[in-house]
A and B are shown apart, each in its own frame.
Chain A
């Protein structure tokens, strides 16, 4: 069965520091992978996606993620965090023919000024 694990429930970083949020997935075939961000009281905004090709994908707001098949990981990175990045981040996996996503439990990011 498909599953997504985000091992870090909370992460705190200082503004300007680098960020890496971890995501591990379990899926037999090549998955469709996504990172979404959710600000308080809001819906989810798509940051980036991967389904094939270059394993390093660029997204919006300066985020990038790297797909590593050997580690079943799709970690999200940002070189320099801004205070406005404070939010909850969700990793998700989709598969052809199911028309649904499996979401991780989310990582709440706090940014210190």
Chain B
């Protein structure tokens, strides 16, 4: 069965621009989470969606937003990009709450110049 698919794999954007990242979860998985990974801060939780509802949000500014569609696919958006937003953005999916383990995608590497 197909894994978690994230597109694009690599992205280069200019400061001030906005970006949308996409995540297709494993078929049948309804919970999708997003994490930001940087060398300085490590892995940090962005948000989690289940059946199109955001159930939890991490400590990130309002420039970071997300949504989930009825087919469980999810997108995250970052507006007014800053250099510090350069990171690997990881999406993970789970059948429900993730307490039995999330399956992660390979990530989208965002570079802001």
Give the interface of A toward B (CB within 8 A): 32, 34, 36, 41-46, 49, 51, 90, 92, 94, 96, 98-106
Contacts and interface: CB of A to CB of B under 8 A. Distances in A.
B55 A43 contact: no
Contacts of A106: 42-43
A56 B100 CA distance: 16
Contacts of B50: 99
Interface in B31-68: 31, 33, 35, 42-43, 45, 48, 50, 55-56, 58
Contacts of B25: none
A101 B104 contact: no
Contacts of B104: 36, 43-45
A101 B102 contact: yes
A46 B92 CA distance: 11
Given A43-B90, A43-B106, A44-B90, A99 B101 contact: no
Main secondary structure of the interface of A (DSSP, over half): strand
B2 to A, nearest CB: 14
Contact of A103 (B4, B43, B103, B109): B43
Contacts of B90: 43-44
Given A46-B103, A51-B100, A98 B4 contact: no
A17 B103 CA distance: 29
Contact of A51 (B42, B43, B99, B102): B99
